[in-house]
Amino acid sequence: MSGSGPTLFARAPEDASLADPLPAAPLDLLQRWLDEARERGAQRNPTAMTVATRDRDGALSARVVLCRGYDAEQGFLVFYTNRQSRKGEHLAHHAHAAAVLHWDALGRQVRIEGPIRRSPDAESDAYFASRPRAAQIAAWASDQSQPIASRAALLERLHAAERRFGAEGAPVPRPPHWGGYRLHIERIELWVGADGRAHDRALWTRALAPAGEGFAGGSWSVTRLQP
């Protein structure tokens, strides 16, 4: 029923990112959202994203990582990890993932799904070289996701790696089992919160075809979703 009288849902969201008409393609808008999340500094880790993977039996697992890169032209996000970790083992068997970025302070959320490819070695080398030395050494010391007897045992592994490489000195090379992954976007949902659950919610999908080390994307299809 519609009319001219008072309504609880007359007020539009303060954020007009998803006002009609919706953008035909979402990748530039995602870039803007990532930039604004960093610039506004409303959250300690504005690039934190939950990544969900699937093991060979289909069981799901999710964890928070940091988004360390975004290519708006090719349409992929980048994160780094120990490739012998649980998530690395999952991606070796099922190279597909889902990710969520949620900026509660900004009233925005992004959901992404798509295939995974390893980042080129040169890209992983460059990012590893930019990390703090302690993080570089820890990447060698920790068998990520594997059991360990105690915190003391963990610290001894870290101290042994520190003695190997030194607290300062020569560069620490990237471990062969550590590197980046590219999550290529084939499905992306953007959400803007509003009072009374009258949220703006839009979905873009496209077909991806293997091309070189990644994928070539087809044209986007966009639709508004009910909240």
One-letter-per-residue 3-state SS of 182-206: EEECCEEEEEECCHHHCCEEEEEEC
Q: What is the mean pLDDT of residues 185-206?
A: 95
Per the CB < 8 A criterion, the answer to whether 161 and 137 are in contact is: yes
List the alpha helices (DSSP H) in 63-186.
86-93, 121-130, 133-141, 151-165
Query: For the chain, what are the domain ranges?
Result: 27-128+178-224
pLDDT tens digits along 127-169: 999 999 999 999 999 999 999 999 999 999 999 999 999 888 8
**Mean pLDDT of all residues in 5-34:** 89
Banded pLDDT at 179 (limits 50, 70, 90): very high
Taking domain 27-128+178-224, whether its CATH number is 2.30.110.10 is answered by: yes
Nearest to 92 by CA among 187, 179, 205: 179
Residues in the chain: 227
Q: What residues form DSSP beta bridges with 118? A: 181
Judge contact between 47 and 79, C-beta under 8 A.
Answer: no
Nearest to 199 by CA among 189, 184, 210: 189
Over residues 175-185, mean pLDDT: 98
Which of the residues 197, 201, 206, 224 is marked catalytic?
Answer: 197
d(CA 92, CA 55): 9
- Indicate the pTM of the whole model: 0.92
- Catalytic site residue 197? yes
Sign of the torsion angle spanned by Cα atoms 9, 17, 71, 217? positive
* pLDDT confidence tier of residue 125, bands split at 50, 70 and 90: very high
Contact 214, 117 (CB under 8 A): yes
